[in-house]
Structure 1
């Protein structure tokens, strides 16, 4: 019995951040949108109709006039909304296919090996996600992951003709896509690589697919070799297994304004620890060390510069946010220096381990069971009623030092007091 040929689909959300904003603002369905980075710094996402006017990375303060001129609506980044919408999209995809690799917040590879009626399944996935979440997606189907990426790109580029679904498992369709796609659009080919490939006469994806893989490996790397083989239809990349637990967890934020006093910095670090400890417990890990650091702005020549950090050992491996916060906040007393304008704090949980992976000394202190039960209850409450419903007393609800997000939409899906409301006449 011959082995079935692998088949992959890439499901990619269209202009994901902007699409999330539009879901709960139907009045913006045909209005161009941009989403800004932390502290409303620069553009990190654009709706399709905003791309001709605004470049990625443009500073917000420099383009306010352009936004107004072209009727483009700016939003502060709302990561709680985007993360929750992403989980909903991925859950829907996972329910419809045998296996899924979540590649990023808005992309997932699906294993469709052995499934018939691929075009119909692609349209079903697209319709189901749109109906249940309001997020439009493109679906690219092929025999390799790189070709699935290329098919997805074509589905979006020619959406009016393709309906957002492109299946290039057929060699004729595959070759048409390869001939009509610039090599710069191939997954993993950046601007520098494109210049090198251009010099070799490799202009299109088809040129790269036909290039000698061994020559590419000698001249560049095994990555480009695998890319060429995948474009030619030879699978070199499989669906990846879920990532193992992280060995470090970092939470780092810029303050919304410069801070000169210690108390608000302690509040900030306590807030960051809440989020870091949530991630720690989500992967069922315990923390042995904590690193806390603070710094001033580093680019203003008129401001004095200072940066410092300290690593502190925990008394025992723990996921108790109360103990972690106590240690982290206490460490700030050792590194804070008056007379500086602080712009950022960073928190890192280090030397992470799984329960049972470390050897307890017979007389060593370990985390009390009561603490574990309290953390479990807190996580259950926050999962049901929204993040921050139950938190450490040192974490304020509306701090003055928080990031500037003056144009942030409501947390429609994660906070009860911000649910979408519909007025009936």
Structure 2
């Protein structure tokens, strides 16, 4: 059996852990640059606010103090997610992260009669140790665990915990109630095509002939149909699986044509990408740099260039990556345009342990490679121990245009010494 633990309104819940005054109030968390609402509390949803609503459309409610909008505090959310995972690892046979707020949990070795009680304890322990409310769905397969989790969240009688036993009457009743569009991995176009065959519910798909589903659609949908029957055939990809390319980009806080500010942004993105590359023990062979103007500003000239430059040799050294990215920026930048976004992509990634060395390599070349790896390792260790940005290449200018707009950013309570919650005497 496998469970899916889903944190309820995760971003909002993280904020409420350290700001209890927000409990029971309509709260939303905005996207980068405070653009639109990307996380909503139940109370905010009840007011009719939808996911993706532009923040400026809600400012009249903010001014009247009817709702509360906060800037994204990803450092806090990432740390709270890690804390939830630590609790799950302590009380289960293994954890497979699916997203920042969802994790599959293995229940190998548990008797069926113990599962419900253990799932309830897990539900309680996460809330007790982290302050984050969760819902728990347990079933024989990951697809059914997703549906069990949905039932735990939507059906009040489950009280946040739903355990579906193989081929049980409860599982059949639930599958008949669930529409195809709510099944993990079944998109809108598939729903329309399956409806032509008379398949309209999760139960219908479970009863369909798997071979016919594979012939007319895909092996992926065949596996989904089998999973709905209780046959486990979908394995999670390794969470730490090496990526084939690494993109780091972000919209600027405001439009700019200042080459120095744009260079700082590219430098920050390049360093972040290099850190991710080293984390997966990889090397990059090439660097892509791009810039974009605002396509919705028809009154402004449009220009969205990009350029790929090959690195002298495969590397994860931030210095070499930033030097090449700087050369690319110099070649694509044109004055007179107001840029909205810039980014860096590391391409043609290879495993550092499988690097093919050149016949022209010398002992000096190998020594330089080892010194580079040692320097980057020290930088990463210091940044991991003391906080991101402790050691960096180049100091960003305060107030530069590329900095994000975060007018309503809360403190990073759990990761910054100078932002720890303070208790004040009455």
Aligned to 1:4: none
Report how far residue 362 of structure 1 moved: 4.1
Report how far residue 372 of structure 1 moved: 2.3
Aligned to 2:202: 205
Q: What CA deviation, in whole Å up to 9, does each residue of 1:269-302 have, x standing for no partner?
A: 1111221111111112222221111121122211
CA distance in 2, matches of 1:358, 1:164: 49
Residue segments in structure 1 that go unaligned for 5+ positions in a row: 1-6
8 Å CA contact 1:155, 1:165 repeated in 2? yes
Tell me which moved more, 47-56 or 392-401.
392-401
Aligned to 1:61: 56
Does residue 109 of structure 1 match 2:110? Answer: no
- For residues 209-358 of structure 1, what are the structure 2 equivalents within 5 Å? 209-358=206-355
**Partner of residue 39 from structure 1, selected from 33, 40, 44:** 33
Aligned to 2:72: 77
**Partner of residue 144 from structure 1, selected from 122, 141, 145:** 141
CA distance in 1, matches of 2:148, 2:63: 35
8 Å CA contact 2:240, 2:280 repeated in 1? no
Q: What CA deviation, in whole Å up to 9, does each residue of 1:237-270 have, x standing for no partner?
A: 2344344211211101111111112111111111
CA distance in 1, matches of 2:251, 2:56: 17
TM-score, scaled to structure 1: 0.91
TM-score, scaled to structure 2: 0.91
Q: What CA deviation, in whole Å up to 9, does each residue of 1:189-229 have, x standing for no partner?
A: 33333344445444433333233334433443333332222
CA distance change for structure 1 residues 144 and 353 in 2, over 3 Å: closer, same or farther? Answer: same
Tell me which moved more, 91-100 or 329-338.
91-100
RMSD of Structure 2 on Structure 1 (CA): 2.2
Tell me which moved more, 408-417 or 275-284.
408-417
Tell me which moved more, 406-415 or 251-260.
406-415
Aligned to 1:373: 374
8 Å CA contact 1:111, 1:239 repeated in 2? no
8 Å CA contact 2:27, 2:67 repeated in 1? yes
8 Å CA contact 2:251, 2:402 repeated in 1? no
CA distance change for structure 1 residues 211 and 313 in 2, over 3 Å: closer, same or farther? Answer: closer
Query: 3-state SS of the aligned residue for 2:135?
Result: strand
Residue segments in structure 2 that go unaligned for 5+ positions in a row: none
8 Å CA contact 1:288, 1:318 repeated in 2? yes
CA distance in 2, matches of 1:354, 1:203: 45
CA distance in 1, matches of 2:196, 2:265: 51
Report how far residue 356 of structure 1 moved: 3.5
Q: What CA deviation, in whole Å up to 9, does each residue of 1:62-107 have, x standing for no partner?
A: 2333566782211122222222221221222223222322111111
8 Å CA contact 2:256, 2:401 repeated in 1? no
Query: 3-state SS of the aligned residue for 1:115?
Result: coil
CA distance in 1, matches of 2:74, 2:256: 24
8 Å CA contact 1:387, 1:414 repeated in 2? no
CA distance change for structure 1 residues 99 and 183 in 2, over 3 Å: closer, same or farther? Answer: same
Report how far residue 321 of structure 1 moved: 1.6
